[in-house]
Structure 1
């Protein structure tokens, strides 16, 4: 193998890591908002991702059946619908369950785990136990070859662009919108936020729903790199929590940095060893770093 071929393989493996980074970052952003900003351990977060993935599949199926001419255009619309469906589901879960369990982290963990199992059974009953994949538009297929021997999949480029747009939108909303101001005030000092007239309960509900909606977008992105089954979301929940914990629970910048580091470490190490050993190596490195810096890469001072 020549040095040029080795470099091309390394670059393609690194780009495969960027696709994983995109899904982990979108999952991590939703969790960073829910766990980092609200202190809620949402074990059903992966199932909100699955809601987004199944929305894309159903959009693909319905488009092929009733409006085949719309097939090249359905995907961006289905991503917006995936956000809306996951947002509504998150709003209902917060209203029916989570709002009664604030400041009770163990109860929240057990309750959302129950929601996770219930949603998985709903997916099995309503859609089926087998994994499914949507029919992607033609413009998402194929690859881009910037030079000979280096092929970069177009769907990976699209997912990367989608992740950049969502991440930028979340950052902008948190620091430039009225909702973001209320969230930051609530995180900084909940009692003072209540005292100055901020409805922290309404802010919590909207924040939880937005975090779930972002998980739905992560599920939409996931359909471009893998098939979807009832337990697909649960396969990513541990990695998503690692991303948030490693980066710093209340830091969005830390979420971006840790998602990139974890995805690239895992992807590049998979070229030299088996997938399970690559996961062990990644987890070991995270544990060692957290032992030296338990607050995460980017700690944020928060008053409770």
Structure 2
């Protein structure tokens, strides 16, 4: 029983991390149909924003205030990645809509530039972000089962972010305009919606969510310039498996990959477990090429 509970919790925890990483990509790739290979570097930017916030608290704030730096670093990471995403969309992405291969190559080049910029500013070695003391330890569920507070905090952060994204996409006027543009751009423009402004805001929000993911990843271990490259493939797998453009599909895909991947790794090993998960995804997409939840659109095929 203890082993089953621990493995299930590990699967949910891994699924929550994948969901937080893939949420931003679900917007930029799923809704905007832009293959953003720099998504991992936006995650890296959020992680370094957390690192800078930590250092500012150490240098300029009383020691008693240090435990609060991580709470502040969450909106800081979002805002920094939001601004960089907005600049990236305004300076490059806006010229590449409808050209997926060009956007792939261009954002891949941007990713390499951002990695090199991070190495120039912070150095090539990884840096450590110290978690606040209130995240040390874990919750003792029963004998032999301790749930780490860091993983529980990440799950809670994912829930809050997911609720905020749902309210924005499906319950706000800006979200309705965004969905209208993604479903039928020409008709939305005829009805007076500024598609240019919607594109910029949508890409920036997706980048901001990637920044929050980077902030959360600092709790898992050291960070470095190549942090995002470890997760970009998993993020694309989550979005494609769940169904392009559907928030529900992204949720199911993330937790499905997290739980099955943890189980496969427990039965075999880490490398073989990832291979088995990938084979399962390929087999499933042969059966349902549009993913778990297909997006409904008013545009003609």
Range into which the TM-score falls when normalised by the shorter chain: over 0.9
What is the alpha-carbon distance in structure 2 between the residues aligned to residue 227 and residue 291 of structure 1?
Answer: 38
Alignment check: 8 A CA contact 1:187 1:303 kept: no
1:166 aligns with 2:164: no
CA distance in 2, matches of 1:301, 1:209: 24
Distance in 2 (CA, whole Å) between partners of 1:147 and 1:118 is 48
Cα separation, 1, equivalents of 2:109 and 2:138: 41
CA-CA distance at 1:10 after TM superposition:
2.6
Secondary structure of residue in 2 paired with 1:40: coil
Question: 1:136–1:154: structure 2 CA closer, same or farther, 3 Å change rule?
Answer: same
* CA deviation profile, 1:1-53 (whole Å, cap 9, x unmatched): xxxxxx21232222222222222111211111111111100000000001111
Unaligned runs of 5+ in 2: none
The aligned length equals: 298
Corresponding residue number in structure 1 for 2:12: 18
1:234 aligned residue: 229
Question: Which position in structure 2 is the counterpart of 1:37?
Answer: 31
1: CA distance, partners of 2:94 / 2:235: 23
Moved over 3 A (4+): none
The aligned counterpart of 2:244 is 249
| Cα distance between partner residues in 2 of 1:300 and 1:96 | 29
1:221 CA drift (Å): 0.9
The partner residue of 2:99 within 101, 104, 122 is: 104
Shift of 1:246: 0.3
Match status 1:181 vs 2:181: no
Conservation of the 8 A alpha-carbon contact between 1:46 and 1:232? yes
Q: Which moved more, 1:79-88 or 1:126-135?
A: 126-135
1:197 Cα deviation (Å)?
0.3
Deviations 1:50-70 (Å, cap 9, x if unpaired)?
A: 111111112112212221221
Quote the Cα distance in structure 1 between the aligned partners of 2:262 and 2:122.
31
TM-score (norm 1): 0.96
Measure, in 1, the Cα distance between the counterparts of 2:167 and 2:204.
17
* Distance across 2 between alignment mates of 1:109 and 1:302: 24
5+ unaligned residues in a row in structure 1: which ranges? 1-6
Cα RMSD for the two superposed structures:
1.0
Secondary structure of 2:146 counterpart: strand
- Give the TM-score of the pair, scaled to structure 2: 0.97
Deviates more, 1:110-119 or 1:131-140: 131-140
Q: Distance in 2 between matches of 1:86 and 1:34?
A: 13
SS, match of residue 71 in structure 1: helix
Query: Cα offset for 1:227?
Result: 1.7
Matched, 1:65 2:35: no
Equivalent-residue separation in structure 1 for 2:265 and 2:202 (angstroms) = 36
1:283 correspondence with 2:283:
no
CA distance in 1, matches of 2:263, 2:8: 6
Q: Tell me, yes or no, if structure 1 residue 54 matches structure 2 residue 48.
A: yes
Give distance in 1, aligned partners of 2:239 and 2:257.
11
Q: Secondary structure at the match of 1:73?
A: helix
Supply the distance in 1 between the matched residues of 2:298 and 2:96 (Cα, whole angstroms). Answer: 20
Distance, in Å, in 1 between the alignment partners of 2:265 and 2:53 is 33
Contact 1:61–1:134 under 8 Å retained in 2: no
